[in-house]
């Protein structure tokens, strides 16, 4: 079976409080990016096998795909062997949820290939044990999430938006971003406030700690906001991807070209649509 595991964007991300268990309560509107996805090839085999083509992504038991397989086995008591090949297209440490998506779609595919022994509700619980972002990928294309991110609620429809993604060569550690949130301060002159969109507000409370550590992300945001083609610009999740909502999809190459010339010639970029009603 070949499965596509799409990336996500956080259109809004509010950090409410630090909890006793070390996690933070959040509220976030998350959308899938249907055009940007990893690929998982999962086949029954004589012996277990796992490979991943991306340097820097672990291929041992710490890979979220392997963790998902192990949890699925523990849940079902199955001793079946699987060969899993992961082709990464979503950059990691990027705030795009690539690893979480891989985990969710591995769980879903294993369940399907095994004749659906695990009920949906339970699959969502297992997903939550793998990571706060994992349940989202088992739900709708757009959702309002809360708790540490594992509670899903149906969201008012969000229109699909043309976006460009710009990711510098470095990644950002999610635990590090949350840890620095409480005591972080704003850089003067940088716009952190909500950006009103017809469907709601675009905002990210993790910009404050992450920009304090990576000033170039704050500068990239301001550069994007100055472009006439850009309606709004914000960081996704804990970064390091910045995304811009465009006036028109035809503007993508102008914005990406300008960013490569004027901001960072090594930027990774992607343009396409978010999920939603077009």
Ligand X SMILES: Nc1ncnc2c1ncn2[C@@H]1O[C@H](COP(=O)(O)OP(=O)(O)O)[C@@H](O)[C@H]1O
Which listed residue (6, 30, 33, 97) binds ligand X by CB under 6 A? 97
Q: Is 133 a catalytic residue?
A: yes
3-state secondary structure of 115: coil
Report the largest interatomic distance among the alpha carbons of the chain, rounded to a whole angstrom: 60
Q: Are the beta carbons of 268 and 91 closer than 8 angstroms? A: yes
What distance in Å separates the CA atoms of residue 270 and residue 273, rounded to the nearest whole number?
A: 10
3-state secondary structure of 11: strand
Within 42-71, the residues that bind ligand X by CB under 6 A are: 57-58, 62-65
Annotated binding residue 171? no
Q: Between 28 and 251, whose beta carbon lies closer to ligand SUD?
A: 28
Annotated binding residue 93? yes
Which listed residue (38, 75, 133, 205) binds ligand SUD by CB under 6 A? 133
Which residue out of 38, 88, 102, 133 is catalytically annotated? 133
What distance in Å separates the CA atoms of residue 137 and residue 31, rounded to the nearest whole number?
A: 9
What distance in Å separates the CA atoms of residue 9 and residue 275, rounded to the nearest whole number?
A: 10
Q: Between 84 and 103, whose beta carbon lies closer to ligand SUD?
A: 103
x/- site string to ligand SUD, residues 38 to 77, per CB under 6 A? ----------------------------------------
Q: Is 48 a catalytic residue?
A: no
Q: Are the beta carbons of 63 and 51 closer than 8 angstroms? A: no
Residue 254 CB, nearest approach to ligand SUD (Å): 28
What distance in Å separates the CA atoms of residue 205 and residue 223, rounded to the nearest whole number?
A: 19
Q: Which residues are catalytic?
A: 8, 133
Binding residues for ATP: 91-101
């Amino acid at each position: 079976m070949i499965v596509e595991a799409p990336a996500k964007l956080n259109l809004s991300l509010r950090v409410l409080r630090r909890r006793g268990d070390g996690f933070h309560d959040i509220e976030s509107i998350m959308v899938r990016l249907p055009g940007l996805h990893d690929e998982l090839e999962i086949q029954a085999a004589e012996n277990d096998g796992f490979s991943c083509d991306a340097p820097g992504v672990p291929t041992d038991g710490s890979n979220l795909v392997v963790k998902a397989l192990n949890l699925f086995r523990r849940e079902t008591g199955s001793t079946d062997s699987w060969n899993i090949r992961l082709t990464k297209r979503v950059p990691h440490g990027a705030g795009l949820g690539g690893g979480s998506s891989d985990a969710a779609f591995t769980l879903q595919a294993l369940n399907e290939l095994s004749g659906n022994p695990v009920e949906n509700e339970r699959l969502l619980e297992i997903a939550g044990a793998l990571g706060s972002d994992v349940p989202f990928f088992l739900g709708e294309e757009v959702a309002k999430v809360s708790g540490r991110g594992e509670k899903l609620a149906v969201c008012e429809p969000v229109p699909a938006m043309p976006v460009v993604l710009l990711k510098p060569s470095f990644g950002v550690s999610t635990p590090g971003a949350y840890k620095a949130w409480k005591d972080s301060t704003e850089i003067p002159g940088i716009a952190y406030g909500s950006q009103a969109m017809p469907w709601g507000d675009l905002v990210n409370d993790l910009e404050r700690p992450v920009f304090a550590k990576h000033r170039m992300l704050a500068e990239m945001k301001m550069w994007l906001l100055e472009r006439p083609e850009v309606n709004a610009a914000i960081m996704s999740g804990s970064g390091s991807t910045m995304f811009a909502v465009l006036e028109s999809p035809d503007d993508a190459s102008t914005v990406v070209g300008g960013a490569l010339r004027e901001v960072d010639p090594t930027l990774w970029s992607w343009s396409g649509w978010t999920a939603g009603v077009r």
